[in-house]
Amino acid sequence: MELFEAIRRRHSYRGPMSSEPVSREDLRQIVQAGMQAPSGRNAQTTEFVMIDDVGILAQLHALHPANKAMQQAPAMIACLVDRSPEKTYEGYDFQLEDCAAAVENMLLAITALGYASVWIDGWLRLQNREAVVAQLLRLPAGKKVQVLLPVGRPEEVWPQKERRPFNERAWFNSYRPDAPSCPEGD
């Protein structure tokens, strides 16, 4: 699939998934796309666990009653970051940015291969869910799951979400150049 088509077609999918397995070759290709993403100081901080073990999947499926994709996905990818990230640049760390770049690359690869997914992140932050998933994946104490991606063939067609109009979000050379400027002294 052509890049801009994958960008246009990618969307969050939370519907039913086919039980058809995702091949390890496809999982590797998806994660390789994540590894190709840029990272602050090229620190390549994000690590990945590809999950296709039916026993582990069954336990993950049981965790999210509101999301069919999370209940049925025949594979998942967990994106890991450090609980105490190393400051790689002048006191700053970029591991969340690194992880986000990797996730978007993987979502595009997932779309290009005809699979569906959804960026599961906020959900992990509540009710100790991240710790439960970390334990299932036998993560060491210093690592945490930042994002989970269920991966599988979608069984429904889901619409794209509307985006705000281009001209309301982007401008050339200055911010909202057509807006009336603030009177001086205000």
Ligand X SMILES: Cc1cc2nc3c(=O)[nH]c(=O)nc-3n(C[C@H](O)[C@H](O)[C@H](O)COP(=O)(O)O)c2cc1C
Binding site for ligand X (CB under 6 A): 11-12, 14, 67, 118-123, 161
In terms of CB distance, is 59 or 127 closer to ligand X? 127
Q: How far is the CB of 52 from ligand X (least distance, A)?
A: 21
Residue 99 is classified by DSSP as: H
In terms of CB distance, is 21 or 158 closer to ligand X? 158
Q: How far is the CB of 96 from ligand X (least distance, A)?
A: 9
In terms of CB distance, is 138 or 161 closer to ligand X? 161
**Could you give the CA distance from residue 115 to residue 149 in angstroms, rounded to a whole number?**
11
Of 2, 177, 12, 5, give the one whose Cα is nearest residue 107.
Answer: 12
Q: How far is the CB of 124 from ligand X (least distance, A)?
A: 7
**Could you give the CA distance from residue 122 to residue 39 in angstroms, rounded to a whole number?**
22
Query: SS3 helix, strand, coil % of the chain, rounded to 5?
Result: 35, 15, 45
Question: ∠ CA 10-11-12 to the nearest 5 degrees?
Answer: 140
Q: How far is the CB of 73 from ligand X (least distance, A)?
A: 13
In terms of CB distance, is 47 or 119 closer to ligand X? 119
